[in-house]
Structure 1
Amino acid sequence: MGFLDNYETVNQKVIRLHATFPTNRIETSIIDWQPDKGYILIECRIFRNYEDEKPAAIDYAHGMVGAYNPQMKRWYVEDTVSSAIGRCASVVLGTETKPSLESMQQVETMPKAFIEEDLWAKPFSEDGFATAQSSMDEIKSKLGGEILSEAPICAHGHMLLKEGTAKTGKPYRGHVCVEKVKANQCSPIWYVLGSDGQWKVQL
């Protein structure tokens, strides 16, 4: 048995879909398309019955023209739409393999230059995208916001934030254990206010 023997074509999945749900409805839409950058994102929704209000499954396919051989580049949009339909049909039909035979064949014939180029190693900023870190930095610089980390976890779960102003007029902040029995409580974590106006763990 070969590597691709367990995969169905999109057409085979659609035929099974029509046989299983004769009144099904398939809807596809473009979520994002950047022709100049050579990629497209397609959404597919499949309804078991034509009159159903909510889809039985939603799935996506991301197509990049650089992943196709020269003779297939002009049809990368159509192929991505077919891929989205195949993936979504797999969810509705409950197949063992989600990718279609066509997608797996494409993996085997993908241009070598595209495989060797690690796109995920490039920072998003090169393509005009904002990273989570840059977005947080912008909030802090422009809005004066403070990015708080998740509450620390002790043996009894997430600790509670305790803050306020002491009788001396000095602000305080710390995390305390949620355990009600004082003898069993974990040690609290207290913070000190730094010269930069940010709270830091008291050492």
Structure 2
Amino acid sequence: MDNGEQQLSLSDSKFRYYSTLMERALKGFENTREWADLISALSKVNKVISSHKSYNILPKKATIGKRLAQCLHPALPAGVHIKALELYETIFTTIGPAFIAKDFPIYSAGLLPLLGHAAMTVKPVLLTLYETFILPVCSSIRPAAAGVIIGVLPGLEEGSEYHDRTNTLLEKLTKEFGVEHFYFNFCTH
């Protein structure tokens, strides 16, 4: 629990209720037996966050980040990945750019390695997340530049229908991270 979440939980009964609902929703991951159970658990967390959009701080965000990373495992089907990316979108829309940058280490663990093994149906959704939410915070997440760059590079696969879109994204990342910083991270990894 970070400082902001701790202060809210002490002073705001609605946030405490939100936190309780989130805990219950996250318990759904503990009893998953198959991928359909993961989709259901992700949907429940998404519903809890969607119904409390007035808060830009998420309760149990470390656990949410861990569960999202688990749901983006390469062995899971595209349907689970899509549902996880929908939850990322809800989270990023809710918390806004300042908290995306602050909490990027929590959410990046599953997100950054995904493009390399993503199904064709997942790639456009993932690229949209990069373009919409990650690109605007690049100046605030400069220490994560290498991870972001490495995460995007698999989209440059020769003949891929996402080659041009990925190349455009890399050009924008170069500008946002700064040319020198971008190439330093690109060349050292």
TM-score interval, smaller chain: under 0.3
TM-score scaled by structure 1?
0.23
The structure whose residues are more often strand, as a share, is 1
Q: Greater Rg, structure 1 or structure 2?
A: 1
Q: Which has the higher contact order (CA 8 A, sep 6+)?
A: 2
TM-score scaled by structure 2?
0.24
